[in-house]
Copies of this chain bind each other. A is one copy, B any other.
Amino acid sequence: MKIQLPKKALVTGAAGFLGSHLCRRLLADGYEVTAVDNLFTGTKSNISDLMDSPRFSFVQHDIILPFWGQFDEIYNLACPASPVHYQHNPVETMKTSVLGMLNIMDLALKTKAKVLHASTSEVYGDPLVHPQVESYWGNVNTIGIRSCYDEGKRCAETLAADYRREYDVDVRMVRIFNTYGPNMHPQDGRVISNFVMQALHDEDITLFGDGLQTRSFQYCDDLIEAMRRYMSLPRETVDAFCAKHGLGAPVINTGNPGEYTIKELAEETLRQIPESKSKLVYRPLPSDDPKRRKPDIALARELLGWEPKVPLKEGLSKTIEYFRAQQIS
């Protein structure tokens, strides 16, 4: 009888919004999962249902410091991703991206693990090209209040590209556009959680600027599906894809190209929470806030045979259900 041992995965940022969904999916796919999180923005309640699984281990650790172990796959998701959190301590945010990446790359190099790194549409900054393609270099301020996140994430991409070129580390990157769903931090200050929380509490729904700036909203399950497909590809396929498209490193956008204005989102939220007494109010746009973002997902389509499936209405409904349940518990 041949015994097939489960593959081992390390997930950093595992108790966060996306990390918790990824852990759940990896367990469902038969993996043994080591979940690392410093619990700064992540919370154990996001993964409490996984704690009893014999294939799941949680380690409270900050990836600014090295972490060691033998894994087949590493998913590097650690970093506060919302302005209210990453601006709390900008220097630590930068360290999480840069020192975290150095630690993950050194681990991958020494143990031959395959890595998926969660990059972000923020590397495009306030884009001058629309929709954003992977070959666009971005428009980012180095010395502004968002820079700690944007430049840290850009720097992490550079490190990934160089570890791949110089040391042959098998690292793949996704640039994640706005993503939402259950397990979002209710106080992360981002638009969907803000609107839902405000609507549930009958508070004014705050729109910044004229509310006509657009965003793309990707439901979390769509992203996790893209990540898993990406990691299941043989290395040669990924390398050939980079060569074909002249990519300096395997980096693909994942997001939902459907565009909604912030105002439309607010209105849909109120439609789905009909009992809400909330009203729309307008506030000035914060400094360096990107005006418009929309992913070009042609590369992800081609490489992964993937595209987002969950419509905003449906995803928003599941998200509202989650936040409602949080209110009660």
Contact = CB atoms under 8 A, between A and B. Distances in A.
A125 B136 CA distance: 13
Contacts of A249: 143
Interface string A85-112: 0000111001100100010010000000
A130 to B, nearest CB: 15
Given A140-B137, A143-B161, A248-B143, A155 B90 contact: no
Classify chain A's interface size.
35 or more
A162 B251 contact: no
A90 B90 CA distance: 25
A159 B147 CA distance: 9
Nearest to A140: B137
A123 interface: yes
A171 to B, nearest CB: 11
Nearest to A123: B142
B152 A158 contact: yes
A244 to B, nearest CB: 16
A91 B162 contact: yes
A142 B137 contact: yes
A141 B124 CA distance: 10
Nearest to A250: B143
A151 B143 contact: no
A154 B151 contact: yes
B162 A90 contact: yes
Interface string A155-172: 101111111011100000
Contact of A157 (B142, B152, B157): B142
A286 interface: no
B248 A145 contact: yes
B166 A142 contact: no
Interface of A: 89-91, 94-95, 98, 102, 105, 123, 125, 137-145, 147-148, 151-152, 154-155, 157-163, 165-167, 247-249, 251
Pairs of residues from A and B, 5 with the lowest C-beta to C-beta distance, nearest first: A143-B248, A143-B161, A90-B162, A151-B158, A143-B249
